[in-house]
Amino acid sequence: MKCPGQDTRYWKPGDIFETTCPECGRAVEFFKDESARRCRGCRAMVVNPKMDFGCAAYCKYALECLGQMGPELLAKRADLLKDRVALEVKRRLGRAFQTISHAMKVARHAEELAREEKAEPAVVLCAAFLHVFSEGLPGDRAAPGQGQEAREIIEALGGDEELITKVEGIIEAFGRGRADGTINTKVFFDAHLLATAEEGADRRAGSVGAERAAEPFLTEAGRARASRPASGTRKAS
């Protein structure tokens, strides 16, 4: 069975189009299912600007379907995957709102720190969403073994072994309470510290700036963020 998106019988006007090579400005013709094509003028590899990689985020056969992806396409696929991981975590946690909120806070800080520290956003964010299955929070669901459910979820969504191994490594390091030397793990640890301090401040309705600064942050971005006044906290009455 051929994927309907690639079967030309279902194509419409505009599914074959031209774009401009960003290197030399020459017109490059694309079929909509082509992930990239080499410019005939300067031989640069041009990425299809209209291609929808939604299915590639979770399909196990994406590489066979789309051919050998360039680094830009792989990055986009990983970015889409972490969004699907977030949705799956919310689905599995159901009404465990405290745990969901915690995961979202860690992910928000992780995304900001990853950008500043040049870490891998997909890896760090997947770990932020999935670490709750090995951490557990008071009043919420019990957690299974470290990394086990994380692997199951990423595999089910079509994540590759390299991504799974990196996410498992972060979660296992978190379980031991000791970060390894990778920037991904350091960013996750700092994001978790910031989220935990934020939650504590919310409970006390006070500022967490000094409290955050006392924590053993592992990245410059984490330390800088910790020294700022907390945002969104309520003033003590």
What does the domain layout of the chain look like in residue ranges? Answer: 18-66, 77-226
Identify the pLDDT of residue 185: 95
Q: Is the pLDDT of residue 143 over 50?
A: no
pLDDT tens per residue, range 75-132 = 555 667 788 888 888 888 888 888 899 999 999 999 999 999 999 988 999 999 999 8
Closest CA to 45 of 16, 65, 69, 64: 69
End-to-end CA distance of the chain: 66
CB neighbourhood size of 178 (10 A): 10
In the CATH scheme, what is the homologous superfamily, with its name and number, of domain 77-226?
Hypothetical protein af1432 (1.10.3210.10)
Instruction: Give the predicted TM-score (pTM) of the model.
Output: 0.62
Strand-pair partners of 18: 29
Q: Averaged over 216-225, what is the pLDDT?
A: 90
pLDDT tens per residue, range 203-220 = 554 444 434 444 589 999
